[in-house]
Structure 1
């Protein structure tokens, strides 16, 4: 079985990511692979010690979990993108603060989320919530469809409710500002579209309680507010259909920068 891969750098942020990854590997009944990137031979011993320490902590805290570790040669984005080709999930911290300072900065998180072959979860330093819903951004595109499937699976593993969130505004629909009556009509159509998008996944996951939220406004602000108490926020890496423009890369990036909970960026295999 392919592993859950976690990128570490010796910082507190990556330690939290490793703990989240270990818990997720257990939920998935998958092995955990701990990876540190090093492109400086002078730091080889430091890298080996940092990755060994993290792997040993995961083994001690999660008895029975299969844990392996590796020092990857190269820059962090390159190393983790290579790892993603064989992984079922890549997990990393939002920002590196110690050890290899800068190894998991926001630019690296964004670079891996954009280029990885598998879904990527970015975990902030703050301890994530252990209750609350999984929130997923929907926009009618194939990218958000894949994100919706990922979110339903995650909610089932967590035993959590699912919030399917769709934002809209006139600019995204290429209209001039709408009269209130037309806004109601548009919002009604979007609500029906959202219900249709979740219908077969509700049947597949009958134990997941689903809440559908349609909100007029900016998608990043709406999503981060909806996810303030969430266990996980799920977004597609960009939008291509339906309500074009809602989930372009800028929205995924906005969620990564502003959401306080872990953020999963799910890539469409065809993108």
Structure 2
């Protein structure tokens, strides 16, 4: 496995390979990330991962400084998973002095995470556009857990005619349903025991939907009923493509939520289709 620190190193190696699958990450890898590497390994002759904690997608009072990092562990996991290339640049390589360009995807970024975290998706879209330009992947792999992010990236790729296929793989969960996330490491044992309530809330909405309920507010109420005692940022039942909140479901939809346990903020979702 080759570890590349600079853009020039990456481009030199990239020129010598054909189709390539890319798994962008911020590191502190878990089984969800590794499932994306496995999917990329199965579908591409060469697999690359990026490890970059992107500063521009963090707000001024968010957890950039304490975001978990363990590069030696991440590299060992990626090598064991069959990754061929790892691009791990420094912030100054991605955002050099004088950098002043932002990719902003409108519409699908306005609600949900975009409403709670202003500027977040401009940071996401900008760094992903840069990584796509640097790595030139054939396919790029993202997890369904970050559903709005996937919608934003797919729209950016369509709107800018970027020659990459965006693959969204199912959320990987712990045995009690909690979606795997690097931020789960922040949870105390007591908070970890409470955290599966998020999946129970989504499952309640999905069960009602599967039983024939199509009133979106009834599904939101089913989610809220499982979240007593949580600091809830939002519960949502939205159109799966536009992410606009629905009154009644008549096509593919997405149930999603964000809630806080102490200082830890968790998100999750389930497709309703």
User: Which interval holds the TM-score relative to the shorter structure?
Assistant: 0.3 to 0.5
Normalising to structure 1: TM-score of the pair? Answer: 0.36
Normalising to structure 2: TM-score of the pair? Answer: 0.36
Greater helix content: 1
